Structure 1
Amino acid sequence: MTASLETDIARVAHQEKTLTFAHFDADVAWALGLRLRDMAAAGKLGVVIDVSLFSMPLFYAALEGTSPDNANWVRRKRNCVARFFRSSYATGLSLARDGRSLQDKFGLSDADFAAHGGSFPITVTGAGCIGAVTVSGLPQRQDHAMVVEALALHLGHDLTSLRLDV
């Protein structure tokens, strides 16, 4: 295992532990989704943004430059969070460390699951993981970083200790 892979796995675990909500509802989802949309628009980034509970979608936006493929990536990444209750990037990093795939380790189809960066668990203190916030359209590390930045800003955390080295 490379030092950077080990460092990333530890840093993403820290992100997941830190970026939790005291409460989460449709208004919080909308504010978070708008923050992500504003970030994407300011950077002229062609991304799809999805904020969903596992029971229903609460926010969805597809910016200029996206395609139906991005919506499918969102679904597959979100399914990964729903299955493992951790970020899709954390799952992908762990699989890379072990030299495994979702298919050979868990029997999960690539058609329905993607262990690629960009989907992050919505975790509520006392309730656990209830949904996911997902971005698709950039390279996976950047998708993940965008979500982490928005969550840190929304939750009032210093991004310095949460940022992955780029």
Structure 2
Amino acid sequence: MDNQDEIALVKRQETELVLPEFSEAIAFEIGSMIRNRALEEGLSLVVDIRTWDRQLFFSATPGTTADNAEWVRRKVNSVRRFQRASYRLVLERGEEPFPVQSGADPADYVIAGGGFPISVPGAGIVGALTISGLPGRRDHGVAVDALCDHLGKPRADYALPEVAN
């Protein structure tokens, strides 16, 4: 799968992994699923689920640091400003910081995988599900897997291919 195919797949994820509704209870359900997976698989990660005006779920598993929460903050800002998964920004632009002319200060925005837009029909993007702690592509994959599980969609239909490290 080449870069353009991966961009098309991430766009499909964004279009099809839409929640019929979003609430505090749904954020807790999705966040708890991710936390349980992390604990079962020994993944060190932070999960943050929010609307644009407030955080609805936050969890950090063993091995994470304050830096992970900072990465989450910057990924959330990127999702909100650019209205797309932060990993799509990686595929479209590479992982270099935003240029100064963009006004997206690297202290507040980052091009790194793990931030995924939460969309609801009729409302559009209302928040973000964000993961930090793994390599960006894997952070993105954890978010996509959780949305697939919540929506009852097969993970394999939306998964990016594994890449060698």
Q: TM-score, with normalisation over the residues of structure 1?
A: 0.93
| Secondary structure at 2:2 match in 1 | helix
> What percentage of aligned pairs have identical amino acids?
40
Say which of 102, 117, 124 aligns to 1:121. 117
Match of 2:69 in 1: 71
Distance 2:108 2:96 in 1: 17
Residue 8 (str. 1) matches residue 24 (str. 2): no
**4+ residue segments displaced more than 6 Å:** none
| Secondary structure at 1:71 match in 2 | helix
* Contact preservation (8 Å) 1:122, 1:133: yes
Distance 1:46 1:102 in 2: 27
* Contact preservation (8 Å) 1:152, 1:159: yes
Distance 1:54 1:5 in 2: 30
Unaligned runs of 5+ in 2: none
* Contact preservation (8 Å) 2:86, 2:112: yes
Q: TM-score, with normalisation over the residues of structure 2?
A: 0.94
Unaligned runs of 5+ in 1: none
> Given residue 13 of structure 2, which amino acid in structure 1 is its aligned partner?
Q
Distance 1:105 1:131 in 2: 26
Shift of 1:51: 0.4
- 1:148-163 paired onto structure 2 within 5 Å: 148-163=144-159
Q: Deviations over 1:77-110 (max 9, x none)?
A: 01001101110001121112xx974225622111
